[in-house]
């Protein structure tokens, strides 16, 4: 029994939020085969995503993500240069090879060459603090705008748009971006170094064992980290939050869609270059915009999928304390039902 259906004089056993109570969407208690209900979940995901302007929101997030890429790489790659003092002068070459391999896997050979070229080499060879500082300052503006777009898209998907004050949401997105930036500063050297130099961080006595483990688990571990980060974003972005595990289905869906989209984009770029269907100097920026657009679509669809699951399979217990918003909604529901 929910707080909305508790009889008079009986204290409610739990608090239901308005976006997951009975009558707020599809009936979550509808009977029927599991397969049929999952079809309804898929239909609800797509229909609500369409109603919430999926493509417009994804375009906004993709634009700001692309805008923040250059200054962010300028800052983060500038931090890789000092690693040569720790791992040796061959570190720069290894990092370039690892980045080149990653970009060639996601994009095409031509785009990777255009993106790397002399630009990345110059950044990696430079250890000037001014370059890093300028890149960080610019990335704060563009990156926080990208994070704000993702937070807004997720809150809209969860039916919580404008529940958080717009100014607070902007500062909240800035805080999330700074946390993500700090995590990127810590993780980028490990990702850029790759599985070849990573075992050197361990003592020589166990280096061989670590190398064998890293060779098998490095890329699966990156996939797990991606899923964990997405689930965490789905957890913290809405103001009224649910259990962290309720974000895992959407994170898995977003990661799967991201991999499929990356593969499709790579096949398209290979076909385009092999048949001369290029845009000249605009090829690289257009490719990045498409890549971020597909990634944004995956993230937004993951949030919509989580919301559909919450509607058809609502949480049995909501542990959050009643907020002013939920109290007002409960009062409105009681008034509509004729209860005092």
User: pLDDT tens digit string along 123-144?
Assistant: 655 555 555 667 667 777 888 8
Q: Tokens at residue 92, please?
A: 């720069």
**Does the pLDDT of residue 325 top 50, yes or no?**
no
**Does the pLDDT of residue 249 top 90, yes or no?**
yes
Residue ranges covered by each domain of the chain = 54-317
pLDDT at 192: 59
| Of residues 86, 87, 88, 93, the one with CA closest to residue 125 | 93
Q: What is the mean pLDDT of residues 175-195?
A: 72
pLDDT at 298: 94
**Does the pLDDT of residue 25 top 50, yes or no?**
no
Q: Which is more confidently placed, 256 or 335?
A: 256
CA 43 from centre of chain: 23
Coil, helix or strand at residue 108:
coil
Q: Tokens at residue 323, please?
A: 């907020």
């Amino acid at each position: 029994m929910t707080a909305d259906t508790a009889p008079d004089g009986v204290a409610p056993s739990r608090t239901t939020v308005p976006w997951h109570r009975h009558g707020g969407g599809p009936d979550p208690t509808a009977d029927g085969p599991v397969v049929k209900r999952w079809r309804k979940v898929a239909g609800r995901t797509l229909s609500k995503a369409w109603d919430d302007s999926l493509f417009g929101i994804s375009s906004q997030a993709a634009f700001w993500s692309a805008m923040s890429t250059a200054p962010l790489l300028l800052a983060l790659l500038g931090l890789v240069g000092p690693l040569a003092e720790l791992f040796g002068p061959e570190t720069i070459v290894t990092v370039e090879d690892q980045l080149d391999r990653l970009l060639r896997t996601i994009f095409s050979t031509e785009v990777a060459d255009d993106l790397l070229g002399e630009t990345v080499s110059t950044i990696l060879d430079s250890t000037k603090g001014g370059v890093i500082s300028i890149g960080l300052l610019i990335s704060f503006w563009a990156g926080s705008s990208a994070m704000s777009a993702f937070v807004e898209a997720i809150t809209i998907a969860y039916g919580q748009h404008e529940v958080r004050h717009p100014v607070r949401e902007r500062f909240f997105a800035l805080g999330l971006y700074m946390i993500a930036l700090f995590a990127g500063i810590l993780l980028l050297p490990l990702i850029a170094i790759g599985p070849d130099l990573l075992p050197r961080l361990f003592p020589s006595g166990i280096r061989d064992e670590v190398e064998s483990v890293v060779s098998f688990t490095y890329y699966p571990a990156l996939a797990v980290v991606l899923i964990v980060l997405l689930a965490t974003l789905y957890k913290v972005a809405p103001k009224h939050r649910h259990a962290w595990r309720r974000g895992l289905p959407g994170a898995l869906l977003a990661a799967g869609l991201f991999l499929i989209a990356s593969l499709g984009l790579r096949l398209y770029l290979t076909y385009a270059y092999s048949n001369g269907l290029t845009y000249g100097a605009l090829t690289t920026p257009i490719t990045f915009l498409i890549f971020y657009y597909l990634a944004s679509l995956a993230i937004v669809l993951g949030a919509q999928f989580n919301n559909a699951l919450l509607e058809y399979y609502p949480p049995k217990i909501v542990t959050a304390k009643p907020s002013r918003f939920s109290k007002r909604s409960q009062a409105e529901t009681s008034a509509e039902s004729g209860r005092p």
